[in-house]
Structure 1
Amino acid sequence: MTSKSKIKMRMSVVKPYRFLQHRTTSEIGNPWLMEKFLYARFHPEMVLLPNPSTEVGTSPRQTAGFLVACLCRHGRQATYSSTSPRKRSASVRGKMDNRNLSVLMITPEAAPFARSGGLGDVAGALPAALQSLGLQTSVILPYYRCIRKSGIEAPVVARGLSIPLGSGTLEALVRKTVTPDGVEVYFLEREDLYDRPNLYNSAAGDYYDNLERFCFFCHGALKAAVELDLHPDVIHCHDWQASPAAPLLAGPYRNNPGLNKSRCVFTIHNIGYQGTFPADRFPVTGLSKKTFFHIEGLEYWGGVNLMKGGILYSDIVTTVSPSYALEIQTPQFGMGLEGVLQRRSDSLTGILNGVDYRTWNPAVDPLIPANYSDSDIDGKIECKRRLMASIGLESSLSRPVIGIVSRLDRQKGLDLVAEAAGSLIRLDTALVILGTGDREIQHRLERTAVELPGRMSFTVGFDDELAHRIIAGSDILLVPSLYEPCGLTQIYAMKYGTVPVVRAVGGLEDTIMDVADFPGRGNGFKFKQHNPLSLVNAVRRAVEVFEQPGKWRKIVAAGMALDFSWNKSAEQYLALYREIT
C-alpha cells in the first residue's frame, strides 16, 4: 500500500470516529461503529476496543482515544480487548507486580493539606488509589502557611538542602507525614517563599515571584527525591507549577544516579493557566538557555512558557478527560498550545478524574442535615427544606432549586449566570450560588440577589459545609462552563441525586448523558452554545421534566447509580506508568 493510500485510509476511518462523538444512534451509518456504540450503551460491564496498534487514525493511541472519548462520554469504562498489546489490565497483574513500581507526585497542592480547586482534590485522592493497587506512592508539595497552621505532625527529615535558584542557591527543609492510606507526603519548607496567606496570589493578583517560587519547588522536589533515596520509577508532575521538573529531568538532572532511570508524566489540569513569564527571567529556571530556550523548547512568543516545557519534555502527557484531550488540540480550546499538543498527540491521553466517595457520599456525609441513598432518598427532601430555610429562600418544595458551587469567572460560565439569573427565576425556580472570584461578576450577582429576595441567595467565599448542603439540597446543579477540563461538581451532584444541567464541553460532555438522547437512561441535560439563551432553554427542559415526578426520579436514579470512584482511573494511570517503565 502506498503512503498516499495509507493516509487516505486513515482519514476515511478517523472521520467516522469523529462523527460518532457528536451523533445519536439514529444518525450513525457505519454498521461496525453502530455495533460498538450499541454495545457500549447496553453492556456497561465491558466495552471491547479494537487493537490500539491497528493502523487507523493519526496514531494508535489517538485512534483508540477517539473511541474511549465516545464511550466515556456515555458513562462507560473502556477496556482493551485481548488482542491488545496490553494483554492484561494492571489490576489483573496483581499487587505483587506493582510493589516495585514507585511514583513521586510533584504537585503545587493536594487535599487535605492545601487546596484551591480540582487539582488539589486529584492530587490528594489519586495517590491513595494508586497505593491501594500496590504502588509505592509519595507526594511532595510546598510547606504553605495553611499547612503549618493546620497543626499536622510533619517532622523534619532533611535539613540544609541546597537548592539552585537562578545563578545562586538557597537552603530548604523537607518535612514528612504519612496519610491513613499509607501515602508518604513530603513538604518543601522555605518560609520566605511559601509562608503566605494564599497559595498563588493575593487580591492584587498573582504573586510577583511565582516563577522563583515554583522553579525552586521543582528543583527542591528533585533534590529531595535524591536526598531521601526515593528512586522513583515515575515522576508525575501536575500543572504549570510542577512543569519545570520535566525539562530539569531532561537537562541538569539527566545523569543524576537517583533520577536517571525516572520517567516523567505531565498532567494538564487546566490549559488556561500556563505559567508564562518574560524572557529576561528565563535564567531563574536553572536551565541552559541554549538548550531549552528556543521555539522547540520553553520559548513562546518571545517569552517563557513553563507548561509548554512540561508538554515537550515529559514521556507521557495526560489530561483529565478524554474529550478535553481532543479539544485542547484545537484552536478553540488549545489556548495557543494546540500545535504543541498536536505534535505530542501520540503521547497524549485523557483519563477522567475520579471522586472520593468517602468525602462525597450522601449516605455518610456528616455535613448535611439528613443522610440518604439511592435506595432511600427521603433525606434529600429534608436537606432541601433545611437549605431553603437557612439561606432565606421561600419555602416551596414543589419549586426546583438550582444550585451553583463555583469559582466566579468566565471559564466557569458565571458571566452567563449573572446575565440569565432573572430569566431562570421566571421559570419558577429558586437559585442558590456559592462562590468567589471575579469582582464584576460578584457585584452583578449581589445586585440581582437583592432584587430577588426569597428567590435567589448568593454567598461570597468558599464554605465546604455549605457546598455540601447546596449539592444535597438542590434539585438541579448548573455548570455552564466556557470550557471544562473535567469538572467534579457534576459528578458529586449525581451521587447526591441532584440533576446536572451542563454545557457539552470537556469532562461535562464525557460524564453527562442528555435525557433527550438517552430516554430512560439519561442522567442530565446539556446545551452546546455558550450564551444565556441556550443556558435558559436547557434549564427550562429540566424544569419541565421536574414537574413530572416519575420521569424525574428515573433521571435521579440513573445518576446516583453511576460509579466514578478513583479505582478505575488509577488503573488507567497504572497502565500508562507500565507503558513507559
Structure 2
Amino acid sequence: MPAPSAKKSKKSLKVLFVTSEIHPLIKTGGLADVSGALPAALRELSTEVRVLVPGYPKVLAGAKNKRLLHTFHDLPEADEVHLLSASLPGNGVPLLIIDCPVLYQRDGGPYQNPAGVDWPDNAQRFALLSRIGAILGSDATPLSFRPNIVHCNDWQSALVPAFLRFMHGKKAATVMTIHNLAFQGIFPPHVVTEVGLPPACFSIEGVEYYGNFSFLKAGLYYADHISTVSPTYAQEIQQEALGFGMQGLLTRRSNKLTGIVNGIDTSDWNPAADPHLVQGYDAGNMAGKTANKLALQEKMGLKRDPDIPLLGMISRITQQKGGDLLLEIAPQLLRENVQIVLLGTGETVLENGFRNLDHAHPDRVGVTIGFDEGLSHLVEAGADLFLMPSRFEPCGLNQMYSQRYGTPPIVHATGGLADTVEDGVTGFVFEPMTAEAFLASIRRALTTYHDKQAWHAIQHNAMTRDFSWKKSAEDYLALYKAVLSPESTNYRAAITTHSGLSTRHSALCFKAKPSAPSPTDESGAPARGKRGFCNPDDHTGPGPDRG
C-alpha cells in the first residue's frame, strides 16, 4: 500500500532526482535501490520530490497513473519527446517519465542490448535524460514544479550540471552523486558539439578526459556539489588507487565533496518479519536465529550443529570482492572447527575453486553458484559471521543486512564497510588487504564467538544500529540546504555521521589538505598526464543565478 504523502508547504524544498534506473521498475545495480528509496525517505521529511527516468518498456509498463504533461519538439536527440507524470508502485513517489520510443523502446537492458553489448547510441540516450533534467531545472521548464536542487546520479545524468552551466536565467543548484567512479561515460570528442555543449568546454578545464569526452567528468566539474555513497570512499577516490583518473579533479574540489552512507530497506530486511526465514527473531529474543542456522546447515548439506561457527558469504565471486583471499586461507581456516557457506556467481576460475572446495569438504563447506533471494536472507540469518573482504566497496549493503540480522560482519577497512562496521563493537574490521590479516580477523572473531557474553553484546549492538534510509535522507536534506545557502562553506556542521562511528569515519566533507603545488610541465602549465588539476569556477559561459 503506498505510503501517505508527506505534507507540503509553500516553502518545501523541491528536488528533481535524475536517474537511469529505479527499483522496482528497472534495475541493474545499487543505483536503482537508491533511486527507489531515497526520494521516498525525503518525502517523509516534507521534501517535494520528482524522479526523472527514461521510458524503458518496463518503466512504462509498471508505472502507475501515467498522464501526458508536455511534448518537446526538435531536440537534438529526437524530433518529438513526451514527458509523462506517473507514480512509483509501492511507495507512490511521483515520477516524470521521458517517453521517446526511438531511444528507449527496445529489448535488452538500460545500457546494453540482449547480447550484452553497449547500445551504440548511449551518448544520445543519456544526453536526452540530462537535457530534460536541465530544462526542468531552469527557467525553460514547462512545468509548475520548479526544483531548488537537481540531484544527478552517475554518468548517465551527469550532463545536467554542464547544460545548466551554459544556460541563462534562474536555475536550480546541482548535486552530483558518484555511486561507482569506475563507470565514466566515455565517448569520442565529436559528441561534445553533437549534444550541444560549446567546443571550448572540451579541455582539461572542462569535459575532456584523456582525449575523449567523459559525461561523468562533466558532472564532477560543473556540479555545485559532489557526493558519494560513504565518507571513506570520498577520501579514497581522491587517491590514485581508486581515483580512476579523476583523483586530481576530486582533490581540487574536495571542499565540495561529501560522503553519505546509503540506507537499507528495513522492511524487506527485518529478521522479525522476514518471510524467507523458518522463524523470526529480534534483539530481545534470539531463539529464532538458531532455528535458521539449523535450517541453513540442512539446506546446504552440512552437519546440523548449533554450536559450530558458521561463516557466510554472499557476493559476486571476484577478486574485487576478495573471493581469492577466502580461497587462499580456506585450508588453514578449515583446520579450525568451522563451516563455510557461499552464495554467488562471478569469475570462472574462482567459481571452480569454490566448487572444488565444496567437493573436498562436503560436510564443512556449502557452495551455491548462482543467486537465490530466499537463500540470501537465510544465509544472513543462519550464519554466525558474515565475510566481506572487498578490496574496495563504495558503500556496500550486506554488511548492514548482517548487523541487522545479528550476524557480525568481518570486513576490510575500505569505503562504506569502514563507515558502517565498528571493530569489536558491531563486527570486525581488518587491514591491510592481505590473506594474513583476513585470517587473523576471523580467528579474533571466533575467539569472541566462544565468549558468549561478549558475543551477545556485539550482536545486540549490531542489531540496534539504525541503517534506515531516514538517516541518509536527513543528511541529504542538510546537504541540499547547505548547497543553497551562500553563507555555508563547510558542510561538516550541517551533517552528522550515519552510524555514529568514530571521528575517523564521521567527517562527511573533506577539505583539501595542504600539499605540494599541482604538477606542472616545463612551461609551468598543469601537467597533461595528471588529469583534473583544474578550477571549475573558471569557465566560459554564464554563471549560475540562484535568484
Partner of 1:434: 343
What fraction of aligned residue pairs are identical, expressed as a percent?
37
Pick aligned residue for 1:524 from 427, 437, 442: 427
CA shift for structure 1 position 569? 2.0
CA shift for structure 1 position 136? 0.5
Partner of 1:466: 375
Pick aligned residue for 2:50 from 132, 135, 138: 138
TM-score (norm 1): 0.75
Work out the CA distance in 1 between the residues paired with 2:320 and 2:462: 25
Distance 1:578 1:159, change over 3 A: closer
CA shift for structure 1 position 408? 3.2
Work out the CA distance in 1 between the residues paired with 2:328 and 2:58: 36
The 3-state SS of whatever aligns with 1:176 is strand
Work out the CA distance in 1 between the residues paired with 2:266 and 2:21: 20
Q: Aligned runs of 1:194-209 on 2, under 5 Å?
A: 194=104, 195-201=106-112, 204-209=116-121
CA shift for structure 1 position 302? 0.6
Pick aligned residue for 1:155 from 57, 66, 85: 66
**1:179 touches 1:185 (CA, 8 Å); kept in 2?**
no
Partner of 1:112: 24
The 3-state SS of whatever aligns with 2:25 is coil
**1:99 touches 1:135 (CA, 8 Å); kept in 2?**
no
CA shift for structure 1 position 118? 2.4
Following TM superposition, where does structure 1 have runs of at least 4 consecutive aligned residues deviating by more than 6 angstroms? Answer: 94-98
Structure 1 residue 567 corresponds to structure 2 residue 478:
no
**2:192 touches 2:198 (CA, 8 Å); kept in 1?**
no
State the Cα deviation string for residues 235-262 of structure 1 (Å, max 9, x = none): 00111222111211212xx237xxx321
State the Cα deviation string for residues 399-433 of structure 1 (Å, max 9, x = none): 22222222333332233334444444343322222
Pick aligned residue for 1:164 from 75, 78, 87: 75
CA shift for structure 1 position 346? 1.5
CA shift for structure 1 position 183? 2.0
Structure 1 residue 237 corresponds to structure 2 residue 149:
no
Work out the CA distance in 1 between the residues paired with 2:390 and 2:175: 27
Distance 1:446 1:189, change over 3 A: farther
Q: Aligned runs of 1:435-450 on 2, under 5 Å?
A: 435-450=344-359
Structure 1 residue 534 corresponds to structure 2 residue 437:
yes
Pick aligned residue for 2:12 from 100, 122, 140: 100
Pick aligned residue for 2:452 from 528, 549, 567: 549
Q: Aligned runs of 1:228-377 on 2, under 5 Å?
A: 228-251=143-166, 254-255=167-168, 260-290=170-200, 292-377=201-286
CA shift for structure 1 position 555? 1.1
The 3-state SS of whatever aligns with 1:164 is coil
State the Cα deviation string for residues 426-459 of structure 1 (Å, max 9, x = none): 4332222222343443343334333332333333
Letter of the 2:108 counterpart: P
Partner of 2:480: 577
Q: Unaligned 5+ residue runs, structure 1?
A: 1-93, 516-521
Distance 1:230 1:332, change over 3 A: same
Partner of 1:87: none
CA shift for structure 1 position 114? 2.2
Partner of 1:382: 291
Work out the CA distance in 2 between the residues paired with 1:161 and 1:483: 42
Work out the CA distance in 2 between the residues paired with 1:295 and 1:112: 39
Work out the CA distance in 1 between the residues paired with 2:273 and 2:10: 32
Identify the range of structure 1 (168-177 vs 362-371) with the bigger mean alpha-carbon deviation.
Answer: 168-177
CA RMSD after TM alignment: 2.6
Work out the CA distance in 1 between the residues paired with 2:74 and 2:295: 53
Number of aligned positions between the proteins: 474
Greater relative contact order, per chain length (Cα 8 Å cut-off, separation 6+): 2
TM-score (norm 2): 0.80
Partner of 1:37: none
Letter of the 1:549 counterpart: K
Letter of the 1:526 counterpart: V
Letter of the 1:320 counterpart: V
Work out the CA distance in 1 between the residues paired with 2:462 and 2:434: 26
Work out the CA distance in 2 between the residues paired with 1:454 and 1:99: 62
Distance 1:369 1:552, change over 3 A: same
Identify the range of structure 1 (472-481 vs 540-549) with the bigger mean alpha-carbon deviation.
Answer: 540-549
CA shift for structure 1 position 491? 0.9
Work out the CA distance in 1 between the residues paired with 2:372 and 2:309: 23
Flag the structure with higher helix content.
Answer: 1
**1:165 touches 1:215 (CA, 8 Å); kept in 2?**
no
